[in-house]
Amino acid sequence: MALTGLDIYKLLPKTNCGECGVPTCLAFAMKLAQKQTSLDQCPHVTEQAKEALAGAAAPPIKLVTIGVGEKKIELGNETVLFRHDETFYHPTALAITLDASLPAEEQARRIERINGLSFERVGQTIRANLIAVRSAGDAAAFAAAAKVAGEKSELPLVLVTENPDEMKAALEGVAGRKPLLCGATPENVDAMAALAKEKACPLVIRADGLDALAQLSEKATAAGAADVILDSGARQVAQVLAHQTAIRRAALKKFRAFGFPTIVFPSGGDPMTEAVEAAGYIAKYAGVVVLSGAEPWELLPLLTTRQNIFTDPQKPIQLEAGVYQVGTPDEESPVMVTTNFSLTYFTVEGDVDASKVPAWIVVVDTEGTSVLTAWAAEKFTADSIAQAMKKFEIESKVKHRKVIIPGHVAVLSGKLEEASGWNVLVGPRESSGIPTYLRTSWQRQAA
């Protein structure tokens, strides 16, 4: 349970010296309870209080990092069971397998394909995150595959073997990349935890069932594995989902043995089954999902699902207001207007691009809301559009004075003509109508 402001206040010096930036210890305690400040802002807090507060303030699910550098992955630090209660902070990492038994050329091709699993959607890059190198029981081949993956990809690695000797051999080449060791079982936990501790790598622990997993978690952490990832051993969908939910619930109640991210392995079979299972696991708390499919069409739906689930529902994704260009527009090109909700803008941009008619798009700041929502909330009005056109100096970009507004807000035409002095053209109601509109109606207007 999180401490309340009053709980925290009881542990503070109560001298009201103000050195923490707020006038009283009580005010500081309240800010701390709301996570708006950190304990180190108070220079007078005692060691004893620090310990008590740190224990209570520790996140219910530990933040675990896999890899180094720009592409490192952070998992955990989640605080809620349901996204709408707050948000989900660290997106599920998608790992793609690389079998060490593959011939060298095939390994190289697969690594290249995994590296290329990166896409742009609503202005964000979404991509596969990890390469899971799987042993086929040959230590030398496993170490060689891990080394090649480390050399040919910047993505963090997962080393999949339960043989500590194989793990040790593979780590010789890639320990500096801080791979995820996958992993420890009740049989090998001492050796694997020792490797994880020595190389400062995160460690997957796998036991059959939740009771055994809790025991193994305690054992692994006692043996020095600081960063653990939990695998309940379940492989059937219903059981995986039940375990994922039970682990998240227990973690949020501060059951420390389960206070770590999880890893799941879809049972595989055909690509469609794998994708459907994986989508369910992304929605239900998986920290890492290990996939065998490496084709763009297998990954893109999962990446889209993940992006949707891990977008903060209280903060719509939005882009900066301004004038954007599609293609290389000139002074005769059409001027269109839309809102700064990313999904709206990038849909419009894609449809303008598909029309092959270069255009200017004036993006109005509607606080990340879509056309009709913004119009209903009076954030996309004749005045706000006219102001944006003026502010972003669209008149300096074109010779004509025609602006195209979305068909859904045709009602704004008259007022916008008055407010802007421009001739207002009503575009299609749906963005999908833009290509036809620009190629026919606009060309006729412009002629």
249: tokens are 């619930």
Listed ranges 22-30, 119-127, 324-332, 343-351: which one lies at the site for ligand SF4 (CB under 6 A): 22-30
Give the three-state DSSP class for 405.
Answer: strand
Q: How far is the CB of 33 from ligand SF4 (least distance, A)?
A: 13
* Alpha-carbon span 281 to 242, nearest angstrom: 11
386: tokens are 């006219």
* Alpha-carbon span 84 to 88, nearest angstrom: 9
3-state DSSP: the chain helix, strand, coil percent, rounded to 5? 45, 15, 35
9 binds ligand SF4 (CB under 6 A): no
Selected binder of ligand SF4 within 2, 6, 17, 354 (CB under 6 A): 17
Q: Which is nearer to ligand SF4, 48 or 125 (CB)?
A: 48
Selected binder of ligand SF4 within 2, 10, 18, 106 (CB under 6 A): 18
Q: How far is the CB of 16 from ligand SF4 (least distance, A)?
A: 5
* Alpha-carbon span 261 to 252, nearest angstrom: 12
Q: How far is the CB of 19 from ligand SF4 (least distance, A)?
A: 4
Q: How far is the CB of 50 from ligand SF4 (least distance, A)?
A: 12
Selected binder of ligand SF4 within 3, 11, 12, 257 (CB under 6 A): 12
Backbone angles phi, psi at 85, to 5 degrees: -70, -30
Listed ranges 16-24, 54-62, 257-265, 347-355: which one lies at the site for ligand SF4 (CB under 6 A): 16-24
Work out whether the CA dihedral 356, 362, 366, 371 comes out positive or negative: negative
Q: Which is nearer to ligand SF4, 5 or 268 (CB)?
A: 5
15 binds ligand SF4 (CB under 6 A): yes
- Bridge partners of 444, per DSSP, are none
Selected binder of ligand SF4 within 8, 25, 160, 286 (CB under 6 A): 25
13 binds ligand SF4 (CB under 6 A): yes
Please give the full DSSP string across 15-51, using - where no structure is assigned.
----TTSSSSHHHHHHHHHTTSS-GGG-TT--HHHHH
Q: How far is the CB of 179 from ligand SF4 (least distance, A)?
A: 42
20 binds ligand SF4 (CB under 6 A): yes
Listed ranges 15-23, 58-66, 94-102, 121-129: which one lies at the site for ligand SF4 (CB under 6 A): 15-23
Selected binder of ligand SF4 within 16, 188, 305, 325 (CB under 6 A): 16
**In 185-282, beta strands by DSSP E:** 203-206, 228-231, 263-264
Q: How far is the CB of 51 from ligand SF4 (least distance, A)?
A: 16
Listed ranges 20-28, 133-141, 200-208, 213-221: which one lies at the site for ligand SF4 (CB under 6 A): 20-28
Q: How far is the CB of 45 from ligand SF4 (least distance, A)?
A: 6
* Alpha-carbon span 286 to 234, nearest angstrom: 13
* Alpha-carbon span 372 to 104, nearest angstrom: 55
* Alpha-carbon span 362 to 393, nearest angstrom: 10
Using DSSP bridges, classify how beta strands 124-127 and 118-121 pair: parallel, antiparallel or unpaired: antiparallel
List the x/- string, 201-240, binding to ligand SF4 by CB under 6 A.
----------------------------------------
Backbone angles phi, psi at 103, to 5 degrees: -60, 155
Q: Which is nearer to ligand SF4, 24 or 292 (CB)?
A: 24
* Cis amide leading into 183 (omega within 30): yes
Place of tokens 């833009």: 434
Count of positions on this chain that bind ligand SF4 (CB under 6 A): 13
Q: How far is the CB of 37 from ligand SF4 (least distance, A)?
A: 9
Q: Where are the alpha helices (DSSP H) in 296-341?
A: 296-309
Selected binder of ligand SF4 within 42, 195, 303, 434 (CB under 6 A): 42
44 binds ligand SF4 (CB under 6 A): yes
- DSSP, res 291: E
Q: Which residues bind ligand SF4 (CB under 6 A)?
A: 12-13, 15-20, 24-25, 28, 42, 44
